[in-house]
Amino acid sequence: MDTWARGRTAPVGDAAAAAALVAGEGSGLAMAEAYLLAGELHRSGGDFRSAFAQRTGLGLSVRDAVTGLPRIPLIAKRLIGRDLRDDIQLPDYGF
C-alpha cells in the first residue's frame, strides 16, 4: 500500500496497524486511530485530502520496517517481554 488513503477512504484499527496477534489491541487501536482521524479532519477544516496527507510516505516506511521486527525471536521477546503496555499519548484537538 503506497498511501494511507484513497479518495475519502482511510483504514483504521487492524487494517491500519499491525498489532501483535497476542496483544488483543484491535479495538483499542481502532478507537485511537478513529480519534486521530477525526482530529485531523477537524484540524483541516473537513478537507479529507489534507487530513489524510498527514500520514506520510516516511510513516509508511517506518510502519513496514517495524511490522516485521516481531518475527525475529530476540526482538519479539524484548518488545513484548512479560507485559504488554499501551502508553499512547493522544493529542488534544480541543473538542
Residue 68 lies in a domain: yes
Q: What is the pLDDT of residues 61-89, one digit of tens each?
A: 777 777 777 677 777 677 665 555 556 78
Residue 25, C-alpha cell as written in the block? 489491541
Residue 91 lies in a domain: no
> 61 by DSSP, 3-state: which?
helix
Residues spanned by the domain of 69 = 13-80
Number of domains in the chain: 1
Alpha-carbon 15 to chain mean position: 9
Residue 8 lies in a domain: no
| pLDDT score of 8 | 82
Of 42, 86, 87, 32, the residue nearest 12 (C-alpha): 32
Q: What is the pLDDT of residues 15-50, one digit of tens each?
A: 676 655 555 666 777 788 888 888 989 999 989 888
Residue 29 lies in a domain: yes
Residue 17 lies in a domain: yes
Residue 6 lies in a domain: no
Q: Which long-range contacts (CB under 8 A, 24 or more apart) does 39-46 make?
A: 39/91, 39/93, 39/95, 42/93, 42/95, 43/93
Residue 93 lies in a domain: no
